A and B are shown apart, each in its own frame.
Chain A
Amino acid sequence: MKNYADLKELERMAQSVMQLALDKGANTAECQVMRRRDFEVELRNGEIENLSEAEPFEMSLTVSQDYRRASVSTCDLSEDSIRDVVDQAMVLSKYTDRDTFYTLPKPEQLQTEFKDLDLFDAKLLDMPVEQKITLARELESHMLAYDKRLKSDGASFSTTISAGAIANSAGFCRAEQRTLMGMGVSGFADDQVSEGDLNVGRKQSGSWGCQRRHHTDLQSTREIAERAAKNVLRKIGACKPATGTFPCYFEPAVARTIWGNLLSAMTGGSIYRNESFLVGKLGEQVCSDRVTITEDPFLARGQASRNYDREGVAKKSAKLIENGNLNTWLLSTYSANKLDMTTTGHAGGPANLILQPGDLDEEGLIKTMGTGIWVISLLGQGVNISTGDFSRAALGLWVENGEVQHPVMEFTLNSNLKDMLKNISHMGNNVMDDWSVQTPGFLISEMNVSGL
């Protein structure tokens, strides 16, 4: 198989930087070396608008002396420059305070078995630029052909081919290469506004895309284009909904952001800092019993598949949330030390997360909801992980007696994540496996809606 980079060479490089630091007196060292080849083409109305390429090559190093830690990074990988930044790291680490919670993983926690996760598509190395342009062009023309009201805000195709090595003085050293390609299209359309509305230039926009590790897994351009088109068209004619308390349906793309909030509240850093609404809740019921989240790091071709975490700690499959019960925190060695626990292999974040689906399809969920809001996008910050307070602007569809009536916008959804997670009354069976979080949509029985 053709390779992007000489992985052994990258491993040697990471190890030699690490060794340089140890030779200069560091007690521990962690080094990452990463090189990438990026390509992107964007076109609009059939014309190429942007073509860009780059090949960055970067190194970062964390050292400690007597538990005093410092980090440096550079993209100048000449010998002199590397010697300079290693020296700089050693100097910096004399200034920081002793932090005895900073240790590297224990040797027995490191991964030693490396499954083939099929994350590299060698064929991408030789994929002709013309083919990438053709795919972007197809996406745009399919979207424009879907409805004559649609205009294009551009279509793109991008690829990233990367190789990275991680080495640390606990005894880990490993390099891997990966590919990732994505394509997407954005559209917009003029929107009508009611008489007297000052927003006479109002438009609605929408997009869709697909990202995969292997070329053969990409969805068809027609499928992606249709979704993008529908994402624009379904917003046309939106008005403000009434203020009140309503059930809400979060479609998969929106559901994913709520799981993101849950996951950040489970992260070791939030827990030891006492900055999570889940502090003290380990082993307790924190979600509706319909919620089961499994982490599967070994999914072939998965977006977030990995054998080991950023510290080289072995990954394992586990149920993070089981029938609503909080089984685990997401810990790195540092946060585990702070909490007097053991690392769960989550340095650098979780791997693929699989939500257990329910019985109902999307139509069934809407029928079950009766009267409420189908949420299609959320806007703005407004989530406080520390308290769980949740207040975000949204755009959606107004549903009455199980039937979609008209789009709604310029309103907010307000609640607290603690309540929202417990109020998940139904999980759908419409799992979207496009992202590292594979989730269906779900119903939340009650949200405060602020509109008119």
Chain B
Amino acid sequence: MSLDLFRLSRETTGKVLQAAMQRGGDFAEIYCEHSRYNSLVMEEGILKTAVASIEKGVGVRVVKGEKTGYAYTEQLDDKNFLKIAATAAAIADDQGSDQAYQVAPTPLKNYYQVADPSIDIDLDKKIAWIIKANDIARKHSDLVTKVTISYADYQRKIVIADSRGRLVEDVQPMLRFSISVIAEKDGERQIGRAGDGGRVGFSFITEESVTKWAEKAANEALLLLEAKQAPAGMLPVILAPGDSGILLHEAIGHPLEADFNRKGTSAYTGRLGQMVADAQCTIIDDGTIENDRGSINIDDELNASQRTVLIEEGRLKSYMTDEISARYFEQESTGNGRRESYKFQPLPRMRTTYMLPGGYSADEIVGSTQHGIYCKTFKGGQVDISNGNFTFVPSEAYLIEDGKITHPIKNFILVGNGPDALSKVTMVGNDFQMGTGIWTCGKGQSVPVGVGLPTIKISQMTVGGQ
């Protein structure tokens, strides 16, 4: 058991839990994490940066109702473990008890069994792929003036023990390979980006994949050089399959995180069981997809990962909960309690959020649109969960004229309102794809997530061009 890695024994673990529960509390847990992170950046044709970092710490949390006490330390010895336990315990104010705690290992189902973790691969091999990607992107066109390749891998080892007697360990691998290309023509500069990654082994990177990413990034930059200024006003918007799932992440994902609903601040508070989207929409948040960036074997407070139906045929079925909000709503946790590292407390967070396919072909959907826009790839998004307003920023997008995709367009964002936009999903495609974007969700803490979508049509959305 990797408790040794943190200079902890099962016996000490029991004592620390006892110290954490000394003033009472619903439960307490010890969260131990050892993370190694490596990154390499090639810029201007040279490998400029190599960074390696290690984070290792132990946090103790005590929860009583909606109250949380938390403390962590990076000085790993019994004295400090007991000290942080006492600090966290201060949140509770009961008599407590002298109950002894024993923990026993609980096995996990593994959704990211990796034979060749990138963290263990020789630097030479990583650098070889970086050079390859750089060459392909540079040679793609004379208009390419700059290429940046960014490679990163990390491995997060966690051991969690709690006052309910559970002891779980998990090893979470991660790989990310991204390429950005600048192309210039007649004094204009545009950037294209591509890449992929996930909880995969090093063999995920192949000649074929590197070529695909490099060409995709270069083509996006070249395309944007030809793009026209986007229009302004309310227009039909068609989203391409895959990374357009960012719409779900912003429009419905965040407002369905249970902390907002427990506190009553979300536009969806109190709307469980109601129709909140068109009946063609079934939306899932899933932590169990093999090797996916958003997958987790267990959440960061020992609740099993699962596939959670959020919206079923337009009807709101479930929020995404952490343990505190699950107890508040008197339900089992959906396993969405995640944290960036031992420096943070868990919060309800998304895993991989996607919409199930519908009945239309992509051609039918595009063909049904007289004048609108078609969005293929995205840079990111943001939401105000209380009024439901969200934005997301396309990078590759086109005009649709007379049922056909025509000119590339640039410099705009899409703005909508969650309940309104999802009720205007008039067509759902049969061409579901998981996104390949390297999405990181920020909510005070960063966690890796995934998105997916079939082609969909939103009959009306505000397009923020000119």
A positions within 8 Å CB-CB of B: 44, 47-58, 60, 69-76, 81, 85, 88-89, 92-93, 95-99, 151, 153-154, 188, 191, 197-205, 235, 238, 240, 243, 273-275, 379-382, 384, 386-387, 389, 391-393, 395, 409-416, 448-452
Asked if B48 and A205 sit within 8 Å, CB to CB, the answer is no
Output the least CB separation between B161 and chain A (Å): 19
A53 vs B83: C-alpha distance when bound (angstroms): 11
1/0 per residue, CB under 8 A from A, across B44-57: the answer is 00111111111111
Residue of B233, B270, B387 contacting most chain A CB atoms (<10 Å): B387
Asked if B51 and A99 sit within 8 Å, CB to CB, the answer is no
CB neighbors of A among B44-80 (8 A): 46-57, 66-75
Asked if B48 and A99 sit within 8 Å, CB to CB, the answer is yes
A384 vs B263: C-alpha distance when bound (angstroms): 36
Q: Kindly specify which of B166-174, B367-375, B458-466 makes contact with the partner chain.
A: B458-466
A199 vs B265: C-alpha distance when bound (angstroms): 14
Residue in contact with A201 in the complex, picked from B70, B190, B269, CB distance below 8 Å: B269
Tell whether B90 is near chain A: CB-to-CB under 8 Å. Answer: yes
Residue in contact with A54 in the complex, picked from B72, B182, B419, B462, CB distance below 8 Å: B72
Q: Kindly specify which of B198-206, B297-305, B405-413, B448-456 makes contact with the partner chain.
A: B405-413
Question: Across the interface, which residues of B come within 8 angstroms of A50, CB to CB?
Answer: 67-70, 91, 345
Question: Across the interface, which residues of B come within 8 angstroms of A153, CB to CB?
Answer: 263, 265
Asked if B67 and A49 sit within 8 Å, CB to CB, the answer is yes
Q: Kindly specify which of B16-24, B285-293, B377-385 makes contact with the partner chain.
A: B377-385
Tell whether B418 is near chain A: CB-to-CB under 8 Å. Answer: yes
**9 extra A-B contacts, CB within 8 A, seeds A69-B49, A201-B269:** A52-B69, A54-B343, A70-B52, A202-B387, A379-B383, A379-B384, A380-B381, A412-B413, A450-B463
Known: A51-B90, A410-B416. A151 touches B264 (CB 8 A): yes
Question: Across the interface, which residues of A come within 8 angstroms of B276, CB to CB?
Answer: 198
Asked if B49 and A75 sit within 8 Å, CB to CB, the answer is no
A81 vs B270: C-alpha distance when bound (angstroms): 52
Residue in contact with A95 in the complex, picked from B47, B66, B411, B463, CB distance below 8 Å: B47
A-B contact list, 16 entries, CB within 8 Å: A44-B263, A51-B67, A54-B343, A95-B50, A97-B48, A199-B420, A202-B267, A238-B387, A380-B381, A380-B382, A381-B379, A381-B380, A412-B232, A413-B464, A450-B464, A451-B462
A209 vs B329: C-alpha distance when bound (angstroms): 31
Asked if A205 and B265 sit within 8 Å, CB to CB, the answer is yes
Asked if A52 and B74 sit within 8 Å, CB to CB, the answer is no
Output the least CB separation between A327 and chain B (Å): 24
Question: Across the interface, which residues of B come within 8 angstroms of A380, CB to CB?
Answer: 380-382, 390-393, 413, 415
Residue of B71, B266, B389 contacting most chain A CB atoms (<10 Å): B389
Tell whether B325 is near chain A: CB-to-CB under 8 Å. Answer: no
CB neighbors of A among B234-254 (8 A): 234
Residue in contact with B50 in the complex, picked from A70, A75, A200, A202, CB distance below 8 Å: A70
Tell whether B123 is near chain A: CB-to-CB under 8 Å. Answer: yes
Known: A71-B50, A85-B54, A393-B389. A382 touches B234 (CB 8 A): no
Asked if A392 and B71 sit within 8 Å, CB to CB, the answer is no
Residue in contact with B74 in the complex, picked from A48, A76, A395, CB distance below 8 Å: A76
Asked if B386 and A409 sit within 8 Å, CB to CB, the answer is no
1/0 per residue, CB under 8 A from A, across B86-112: the answer is 010011000000000000000000000
Asked if B382 and A379 sit within 8 Å, CB to CB, the answer is yes
A384 vs B69: C-alpha distance when bound (angstroms): 41
Give the residue name and chain of the A residue nearest to B277 (CB): A198
Give the residue name and chain of the A residue nearest to B90 (CB): A51
Residue of B57, B410, B466 contacting most chain A CB atoms (<10 Å): B466
Residue in contact with A382 in the complex, picked from B67, B72, B263, B413, CB distance below 8 Å: B413
